[in-house]
Chain A
Amino acid sequence: MLNAVTAKSSLEDILEELEQAEGLGALQTASERLRDHFDVDHIVYHWVDSAGDQYGCGTYSDEWRDHYLKQNYLRVDPVIIGCFQRFHPVDWKRLDWSSKQARAFQQEAIEYGVGNQGFSVPIRGPNGQFALFTISHNCDDDTWATFTETHRRDLILIAHYFNEKALEFEPGRIPENHQPLSPREIDAMTLLAMGYSRAQVAQTLSISEHTLRVYIESARFKLGAMNTTHAVARAMSRGLIVV
């Protein structure tokens, strides 16, 4: 899993494509490309609204998806139950699998190829919207711990970018522009685009490097970017900064 040799799309490319795409099919395509990028068994995005309606996409087999819906596993699935109303990322090992129902569900999930490991990022959207971004795989505990530790931050960001995209298609949603950058965030992005080092940017703005990191992190998220270079590129292409 961690030493695949095939050439893979970068996260930036995958997100760029997702950002540009129109229609929910883009989320499906992005799930598949992310699965290949991380070289794991599955990537799944699952939206549940307050009325209990759900939308999902990802790489689980059609058989498992149909079975899950037919059995109404939303009411049994410990991942849903354990992540609903939460906002911290969850390793499936930490969830409560003790009930008979949960164990039977788990047995089936593994038979359907979900994998023996999972990591889910809960997302709280506007107006009680809730979604889960999940990555699952078949491997031993140590390998999984290393994987999630290494990629946790990226997975958290991607989870939220998926949800942003999904929200665009919500019926009745008023299209809104991207969240604007604050004046400090624009300053930071502009100076970085001019080639200043972080230390120079911090000094120029008379703030500590730690404070600068917060502004960069916030700008990066608002721009839907994976890293600082990506964020600067997006800020420029959207005309948010002028160098």
Chain B
Amino acid sequence: MLRYVYADQLKNHPKLAASMFRDRADQFKTRLGWDVSVDAEGFERDQYDDLNPLYVIWENVDGSHGGSMRFLPTTGRTMVNEHFGSLMSGPITSPTIWECTRFCLNRNAESRVAAALMLGGGEIMQNFGVHHFVGVFDARMVRIYRMIGSSPDILGFDGEGRDKISVGLWHFAPEAQAKVASRAGLSLELSRLWFARSFGDTGAPAYELARTA
């Protein structure tokens, strides 16, 4: 299932959080050879994880991490603006543009996990008034994004071949959403339910109903 979790809520999901940071180490350090730091616990964390970002995480049936990505609004500190500004004529700043970084997949993740994550990104756009995501990703992801029907516009890139890092942007497109949902093997209803659950829709009587209590 998809979970939407702020960093300060990760403590409620210890297994999920630990496996996410380990999968990030596996992807960015071991497989891609990026210059990222991995701590004694085997976690890949950076300074942006300390800014209480919002993670969208695919949770496997056993409670472990299948894939994830990390969001921060571009009104505050972001990786794209602080490290990739020159690639995209930045800084880009708006509460309706969020950055999406650390798109990560467990090495055994089913192919539908990437699509499920993109579907989660679409929920954020639709529900929170976000118009665009600006993201940083490696060359390998270009093919994956294309496969799941959610190719970004490339704003700029650095490096070549396997070392190529790109900055791209996504916008919400209803026609793409249906395709991404089908790649993910998920209905839009289920996607909406997961989103609503993460953001407090328990189905219980809320503010308005209690008025008459």
Tell me the A residues contacting B by CB distance below 8 Å: 82, 85-89, 92-98, 103, 106-107, 110, 116-118, 123-124, 141, 152-153, 156-157, 159-160, 179, 182-185, 207-208, 210-211, 213-215, 217-218, 220-222
Contact = CB atoms under 8 A, between A and B. Distances in A.
Contacts of B207: 92-93, 95, 97, 106, 116-118
Nearest to A220: B94
6 residue pairs, one from A and one from B, having the closest CB atoms: A184-B89, A94-B200, A221-B94, A93-B206, A152-B129, A218-B92
A157 to B, nearest CB: 7
Main secondary structure of the interface of A (DSSP, over half): helix
B182 interface: no
Nearest to B9: A85
Contacts of A82: 200
Contacts of B76: 87, 124
B204 A85 contact: no
Contacts of A123: 75
Contact of B6 (A86, A110, A179): A86
Contacts of A211: 153, 155, 169
Contacts of B74: 218
Nearest to B133: A214
A146 B148 CA distance: 32
Contact of A182 (B89, B97, B129, B211): B89
B54 A116 contact: no
Name the residue among A124, A179, A215 with the largest chain B CB count within 10 angstroms.
A124
Contacts of B96: 153, 156-157, 217, 221
A25 to B, nearest CB: 25
Nearest to A95: B200
Contacts of B153: 207-208, 210-211
B201 A94 contact: yes
Contact of B132 (A89, A95, A157, A214): A214
